[in-house]
Structure 1
Amino acid sequence: MATANTPPSSAVRLTQYAALDIKGADAEKFLQGQTSAQVSLANGTFAPLTCFCTPKGRMLANGQLLRLGNDHFRLILDTSLADTLANHLKKFAAFYKAELSLAASVTFAGASQPLDAMAEHLGITLPEQPYTHVTSPKGTALRMPGSPRWLFMFEEDAGSLVSSDEALQNAWQLADIRSGLAWLTDAQQDHFLPQMLNWEALGGISFKKGCYTGQEVVARAHFRGQVKKRLVHASIHATTLPAIGEPLHDENGKSMGEIVSSAFSTEQEVELLAVMNTKVTEEALPMYWQQKPITLHPLPYPVERLDPEQIAAQLA
């Protein structure tokens, strides 16, 4: 069984990501009406977190938005949602000078060290600040939110620079969990308000922009304090990973939450992110997965609004 103890000496291939390209003279205008980000903040350096919602404010996908050219944006999201989101957005893109396509040739890799070989291959200097990226004709390096990590996007296969080591893939997932960063998959699409994944605490929602699909519901939930479920970080003693969507129960057997992601921290310890009723943390209720007790851990950020405009200003 792979654990997170393998030294992160190389970049690891990450197949969970997909790249959705949005190009055209109206690409920015089109995205502005669809996504929670203030699209103009994506300026070729700052890559804001963002999400796409239904009219009822439920998340269809979340991701990170990069500007690769004047009329070229790239959304990084979970691969299980790429086709569905693209087909959904194409219905609206038809009214704009904007085209959507999956960048199927892009290879994703991740590293928790600033690897010189990767920078040299791309012909760039690696970005030092979270939420920022540097792009060359050969690809892009993105400094992820949270713990120091770089996500690489190669326009062509990087060959020997990238490994497929299972332990390194698990370590990347574990770093997401410890950073309190949850990526929506098709298993829970149209299920959560963005705030249930703490998206506003990570700078993934602009409350200063105009209308976008689902904006009214998302804003009302924020300003009226109606979010009764929140993302939490927890661990359990287990030798198998819980499935996405599996329930978490209190001592009376009542479902109080569901699992969003999980990874091994040791061969007998699993760490996870779960969306849980806020009563659990407010009242310190004992919780269980398959009758195994769950230990809650603090998140690395305060669960409060962080405006992406504030992050962008700090990077300027």
Structure 2
Amino acid sequence: MTDWNALVGATPLDERRVGFDTPDQARKALDTSVRTPLAHLGILEISGADAERFLQGQASAQLSLASSGFAPLTCFCTPKGRMLANAQVVRVEDQRFWLIPEYSLLSPLKEHLDKFAAFYKADMRVRDDLVMLGLIGNEAPALLEAKLDIEPPAVWHHARQGERHALRHPGPRPRLLLIVPEQDVGNVWELLAPHTTPVGNAVWCLHDIQAGMAWMRDVHRDTYLPQMINWEALGGISFKKGCYTGQEVVARAHFRGQVKKRLIRAQLEGAELPEPGDAVEDSEGKPHGEVFCAELDAYGQAEILAVMTTKEVPGPLSVAGQRLKPLKLPYAVERLDPESLVQKT
């Protein structure tokens, strides 16, 4: 695992988090540009003569779209349509792809895909030699071009300069995910230092919540259909491709309108962070959903994504005694075909 303290002076907080002494870090990301180590993410590389054909049979993404800079969202499911992992797909070369999931899913995802890889000319390996950094702020695209000589990509697109890569993610401020070789991370960190403030990766995760992006962790495996975390509303499912593991169930849920739970965004009136799986309850203590993820916002209150029943629920709702205030998602909860997201060149 990456030694973030040695590389950039970050303090390890737990297996997923690193931090800095910077005060009011979430607020800094509103007022200025910030940089952060993305310690909670990992890269699984798939390469070989059959790499695309292999992934096409397992991923919800249409792999042929992962070209000309487009880096689609995807997910991997059980035969019953339950998600084992979600990720972003980057085509690095003709038959070499990077999957970017949450770090705790790297080994389980590889183990799952290994069951099918034996039938293809495809190799998989975890790329611990690559490091990911986050760049957030209104000046982030200009910094990418001026300091790293990379033309800023569109949202969910990929650009590169040599061994340095950049991906654009949505959020309340422009966000760029940088991928660089471990031996180069110090150089990149210092190039950005005069123009950005270092913050912990909890800030990046907060912006994921505010973007309505639910990135699975190991604790979420085999629990949700993709639509339960609004994955089709983010372009994470191609309904125009052929079969993949779990496709029949996912398609049936979509076309028959059988999705009984959906992802919501909310703020809690308190500073206590709930854990994934904590119940969202009504005033009588009856559960109507569960927390997916949570982070503290710029005002010291918990913001969450929760998977909730689609039935009308009597209010007020709360989580661990903290009253829940629904917040608007920044996208429509309806099918978004990834084919429509490919930037024409």
Q: TM-score, normalised by structure 1?
A: 0.93
Name the structure 2 match of 1:57. Answer: 81
Name the structure 2 match of 1:75. Answer: 99
1:181 Cα offset (Å): 0.5
Sort the Cα spacing of 1:10 and 1:253 in 2 relative to 1 into closer, same or farther, 3 A. closer
Sort the Cα spacing of 1:225 and 1:285 in 2 relative to 1 into closer, same or farther, 3 A. farther
Q: Secondary structure at the match of 1:18?
A: coil
Name the structure 2 match of 1:174. Answer: 206
Q: Secondary structure at the match of 2:112?
A: helix
**Which amino acid in the other structure matches residue 157 of structure 2?**
T
2:326 to 272, 296, 303: 296
Sort the Cα spacing of 1:287 and 1:40 in 2 relative to 1 into closer, same or farther, 3 A. same
Sort the Cα spacing of 1:115 and 1:222 in 2 relative to 1 into closer, same or farther, 3 A. closer
2:124 to 96, 100, 113: 100
**CA contact 2:35–2:197 (8 Å) conserved in 1:** no
Name the structure 1 match of 2:14. Answer: none
Residue 185 (structure 2) pairs with residue 158 (structure 1): yes
Sort the Cα spacing of 1:131 and 1:52 in 2 relative to 1 into closer, same or farther, 3 A. same
Q: Secondary structure at the match of 2:167?
A: strand
1:251 Cα offset (Å): 1.5
Q: Deviations over 1:222-273 (max 9, x none)?
A: 0111101100000012222111221111122111111111111145411111
1:116 Cα offset (Å): 5.2
Alpha-carbon distance in 1 for matches of 2:131, 2:294: 23
Sort the Cα spacing of 1:236 and 1:166 in 2 relative to 1 into closer, same or farther, 3 A. farther
Name the structure 1 match of 2:170. Answer: 145
Structure 1 stretches of 5 or more lacking a match?
Answer: none
2:281 to 234, 249, 258: 249
Name the structure 1 match of 2:220. Answer: 188
Sort the Cα spacing of 1:242 and 1:167 in 2 relative to 1 into closer, same or farther, 3 A. farther
Q: TM-score, normalised by structure 2?
A: 0.85
Name the structure 2 match of 1:240. Answer: 272
Alpha-carbon distance in 2 for matches of 1:250, 1:155: 49
Greater CA drift, 181-190 or 168-177: 168-177
Q: Secondary structure at the match of 1:299?
A: coil
Alpha-carbon distance in 1 for matches of 2:68, 2:91: 5
Sort the Cα spacing of 1:267 and 1:311 in 2 relative to 1 into closer, same or farther, 3 A. closer
Q: How high is the sequence identity, in percent, across the aligned residues?
A: 47
Greater CA drift, 260-269 or 92-101: 260-269
What does residue range 275-294 of structure 1 map to in structure 2 within 5 Å?
A: 275-279=307-311, 282-283=312-313, 285-294=315-324
1:11 Cα offset (Å): 1.8
**CA contact 1:4–1:168 (8 Å) conserved in 2:** no
Q: Deviations over 1:182-230 (max 9, x none)?
A: 1000011110000001000000000010000000000000011110110
**CA contact 1:237–1:268 (8 Å) conserved in 2:** no
Name the structure 2 match of 1:310. Answer: 340
Structure 2 stretches of 5 or more lacking a match?
Answer: 1-22
1:219 to 228, 248, 251: 251
Alpha-carbon distance in 2 for matches of 1:2, 1:222: 42
Sort the Cα spacing of 1:145 and 1:266 in 2 relative to 1 into closer, same or farther, 3 A. closer
Sort the Cα spacing of 1:44 and 1:20 in 2 relative to 1 into closer, same or farther, 3 A. farther
Q: Secondary structure at the match of 1:294?
A: strand
Aligned alpha-carbon RMSD (Å): 2.0
Name the structure 2 match of 1:46. Answer: 70
Greater CA drift, 237-246 or 213-222: 237-246
1:126 Cα offset (Å): 2.1
Alpha-carbon distance in 1 for matches of 2:198, 2:185: 18
**CA contact 2:35–2:198 (8 Å) conserved in 1:** no
